[in-house]
Chains A and B, each alone.
Chain A
């Protein structure tokens, strides 16, 4: 009896009960579809978040004043003995070779007004390096000028939303805005970018670092952002940065955050979420497996005569086992393929509805769901198939 014979025999048997076959196939299809759809959503969410981080700019280290362990407070909030200074940032720029860009940042909230319109916004005092560091695109004009960090000119770069709000219908370049007590000339408008990681780039005003510090009457920095050579050894850079700052401050009163650490933390959280979703969906697959087992048991008890006959005409118990197992596996495999189709169609629809979410099913989920659905047939088919082989042919023929 060839494999093809067994297959043909099983297909005929399944076609003999089209409704029953269809229903138990549907069970598997729903299971497989839910595994694929849910994992796709989980993966989509993960890539969405990762992309958000990547849009920060890549290969970035952030130095924040304060030490979580020693001060007990949140880094960057509350008074710290040794604040980060422009000199610290300059030292890092000069002494750590693998660091390609250094952007010190000071920030605060202030009212921006022009032509009778005003708005409370976040002001970021920083340097020209910030542009490359955070991939800032300009819609018009230019970004903050390069040059001495200590010298602050009275210029401002507006977020696209602010430019639209303050100067509706007209260009903002060359116009004057009032920020707090200072008057500044608008030299550029950033391209619309939207919210990334809670910071709305469209509702932000950037001014030169020294201007910002004067504006908020501060001598310390909010943080220092560093971008390093992608090929460089991050651990070594971290060690160097730490050493230089400890030398300057006589103690480790700052915190170094790597973008990789944050990203991998988020990535892990979302991977766990995806796995949990897959697990929940897998439960529906095992329920479908029990459905298959039920259908096969019914089939065996309905076909006692046939099984008795097969035994009488010399079918080996192993052949009978294979025939019934093949039926179960066919059932679950067909269900799995249908489920794949359902998942593909649903995701297609979802992409239209939610273009931002890249809900592409991960390959492991597709392969896994198919393998599991085949396995479900094999595992849940064993019991009925063995029940078939164990039938006493005499009783089966009489019954």
Chain B
């Protein structure tokens, strides 16, 4: 499904190169559930943006579904995002003036799906996140958990093969967060590949695999079931003689360390 080879992402900061990602090599199978962990600034969002075709690597090869996407044009990447990838964000990013069903319809509208089909598919997607009764509510009339479920419905309505979630439970209480995770896992049973960035070991533990990033490097790979209560990157960094870890990084709380 995903094949990353020697991926580098370098930014130019005040004339000096800043390596947000270095030498990333990773394979992710179709239908896998992978969690990406790491302290702030470790490059996990950069990695997620690359995987989501919102950004291009400075170097290296990224194969998605057998297609090399690292060097595609902006407009080709747009098509890939539209057809292959669904996004879920920490802050939901629902369009405030549109109803739930209107928000879910958005990707289909830009993809040119007809009005009637759009409505039918959007309702089906809302039903699969158990929110059909909230179809005509605007985001400000929904709870946080409900908003994230609308966002998930929007992400899956184009039937992507890859779902990318950036701290999907970061703004939710434990119970709503749990519901959202249940929902995401349920989607995997339909063959969806799920990649999520999280700070929460409780969230990461539910993944098949956990990849830990520090300073743009992958420092550890483990099975989700093997994850303890402590953020793995703390251990990883300590093992690598504690070079550059900000001491103030929150540990194992559900809070985003942004």
Is B75's CB under 8 angstroms from A316's CB? yes
Distance (Å) between the CB of B112 and the closest chain A CB? Answer: 6
Across the interface, name the chain A residue whose C-beta is closest to B55: A394
Contacts of B112 in A (CB 8 A): 1-2
Chain A interface category by residue count: 20 to 34
Judged by a CB distance under 8 angstroms, whether B249 is at the interface is: no
Across the interface, name the chain A residue whose C-beta is closest to B258: A398
Stretch at the interface among B57-65, B87-95, B140-148, B231-239: B87-95
Distance (Å) between the CB of A87 and the closest chain B CB? Answer: 89
Judged by a CB distance under 8 angstroms, whether A182 is at the interface is: no
Alpha-carbon distance A39/B121, docked complex (angstroms): 54
Judged by a CB distance under 8 angstroms, whether A13 is at the interface is: yes
Alpha-carbon distance A310/B94, docked complex (angstroms): 10
Distance (Å) between the CB of A218 and the closest chain B CB? Answer: 87
Contacts of B110 in A (CB 8 A): 1, 310, 313-316, 319
Alpha-carbon distance A306/B92, docked complex (angstroms): 11
Is B95's CB under 8 angstroms from A314's CB? no
Judged by a CB distance under 8 angstroms, whether A243 is at the interface is: no
Alpha-carbon distance A359/B123, docked complex (angstroms): 57
Judged by a CB distance under 8 angstroms, whether B72 is at the interface is: no
Interface string of B98-121 (1 = CB under 8 A from A): 100000001101111001000000
Is A313's CB under 8 angstroms from B97's CB? no
Alpha-carbon distance A104/B64, docked complex (angstroms): 100
Alpha-carbon distance A38/B71, docked complex (angstroms): 58
Interface string of A50-79 (1 = CB under 8 A from B): 000000000000000000000000000000
**When the two chains form the complex, which single residue of B109, B154, B158 contacts A9, counting CB atoms closer than 8 Å?**
B109
Contacts of B109 in A (CB 8 A): 1, 5, 9
Distance (Å) between the CB of B187 and the closest chain A CB? Answer: 17
Judged by a CB distance under 8 angstroms, whether A393 is at the interface is: yes
| Of listed B78, B106, B115, residue having the most chain A CB within 10 A | B78
Interface string of A310-343 (1 = CB under 8 A from B): 1111111101000000000000000000000000
**When the two chains form the complex, which single residue of B79, B91, B96, B97 contacts A314, counting CB atoms closer than 8 Å?**
B79
Across the interface, name the chain B residue whose C-beta is closest to A4: B115
Judged by a CB distance under 8 angstroms, whether A308 is at the interface is: yes
Is A313's CB under 8 angstroms from B54's CB? no
Distance (Å) between the CB of A323 and the closest chain B CB? Answer: 9
Alpha-carbon distance A314/B109, docked complex (angstroms): 10
Alpha-carbon distance A14/B255, docked complex (angstroms): 36
**When the two chains form the complex, which single residue of A12, A309, A314, A394 contacts B78, counting CB atoms closer than 8 Å?**
A314
Judged by a CB distance under 8 angstroms, whether A244 is at the interface is: no
Is A312's CB under 8 angstroms from B95's CB? no
Judged by a CB distance under 8 angstroms, whether A275 is at the interface is: no
Across the interface, name the chain B residue whose C-beta is closest to A318: B75
Judged by a CB distance under 8 angstroms, whether A305 is at the interface is: yes
**When the two chains form the complex, which single residue of A12, A309, A393, A397 contacts B97, counting CB atoms closer than 8 Å?**
A12
Is A12's CB under 8 angstroms from B98's CB? yes
Is A16's CB under 8 angstroms from B154's CB? no
Distance (Å) between the CB of A330 and the closest chain B CB? Answer: 15
Is B82's CB under 8 angstroms from A314's CB? yes
Q: Which of A4-55 contact B (CB under 8 A)?
A: 5, 9, 12-13, 15-16
Across the interface, name the chain B residue whose C-beta is closest to A313: B107
| Of listed A2, A9, A312, residue having the most chain B CB within 10 A | A312
Judged by a CB distance under 8 angstroms, whether B201 is at the interface is: no
Alpha-carbon distance A309/B150, docked complex (angstroms): 14
Alpha-carbon distance A16/B54, docked complex (angstroms): 28
Judged by a CB distance under 8 angstroms, whether B83 is at the interface is: yes
Q: B residues engaging A (CB < 8 A)?
A: 45, 49, 52, 54-55, 74-75, 78-79, 81-83, 87, 89, 91, 93, 95-98, 106-107, 109-112, 115, 154, 158
- Taking A308-B93, A313-B107, A316-B78 as known contacts, 14 extra A-B pairs with beta carbons closer than 8 A to each other, sorted by chain A number, are A1-B109, A5-B109, A12-B98, A309-B89, A310-B110, A312-B87, A313-B110, A314-B110, A314-B111, A316-B75, A319-B110, A394-B49, A394-B54, A398-B45
**A-B CB proximity, top 3 nearest:** A314-B82, A313-B107, A315-B110
**Mind listing 5 A-B residue pairs with CB under 8 Å?**
A1-B110, A314-B79, A316-B110, A394-B49, A397-B89
